[in-house]
Amino acid sequence: MENSVDLRRLQKSIGYHFHQKKLLEAAITHPSFDGAVSNYERLEFFGDSVLSTILSEELYRRYPEKSDGDLSMYRTALTNGRFLAELARELELGTFIRTKAIINPQQRDSIHENALEAIIGAMFLDSKYSKVRKTVLRWYDPFAERLERELKRTNPKGRIQELICSLRPNSVLDYRLIAETGEDHERVYSIALYCENELLGIGSGSSKKVAEKNAAFHALEVIFQRAKLQI
């Protein structure tokens, strides 16, 4: 940043005070920014894992009755790009991110998402896990209401269909029942999602519809994670 006032404003906005200001500066610097010594790419990679750990722990504690498939679906809903970009805007990160002056709307969402994850990674390197966890969960407050709203907005089967159509035109998705367990009144169904005989994801639920939705969520999580590792 050009001056310390901006850094103070940013730290107030995110609710965290950095001891190592260089970490914060790197976390808000896009690779395109001229003259930057470091940028947010490595921190974003790290922060993505930290965020996943924080949310996994919180979901595990909050919903002891939910299956691993449900918890995975919830985590995916709370880490999708659109949601993280909106969360970054709530924290007014766009005011502080250093990048080229002209970017299109699609790039802007991605930059907001990446900067948010980079800041999480920077906080972890600057402090201890418990403090970072407390800060991040404050951003997500009210947690249950945000999760419920995001689940209503998310259509995983539609999203995976659109994604596969764009990546593999003319390919067909196939939801296959692979297991049924439990008593008649507590039946659990397991569904595997395939595309041209390639396994994309597996989900389970109390109905075939729920299991298919969870399989689609799992497939989205796997595909997005692969994409991040390839960037």
The residues carrying an active-site annotation are: 48, 117
Cβ contacts of 102 within 8 Å, gap of 6 or more: none
Say if CB 162 and CB 156 are below 8 A apart.
Answer: no
Question: What strands, in cross-sheet order, belong to the sheet with 198-205?
Answer: 173-181, 188-195, 198-205
Say if CB 204 and CB 190 are below 8 A apart.
Answer: yes
CA distance 199 to 90: 37
CA distance 52 to 221: 11
Question: Using H for helix, E for strand and C for coil, what is the string for 144-184?
Answer: HHHHHHHHHHCCHHHHHHHHHHHHCCCCCEEEEEEEEECCH
Say if CB 83 and CB 77 are below 8 A apart.
Answer: yes
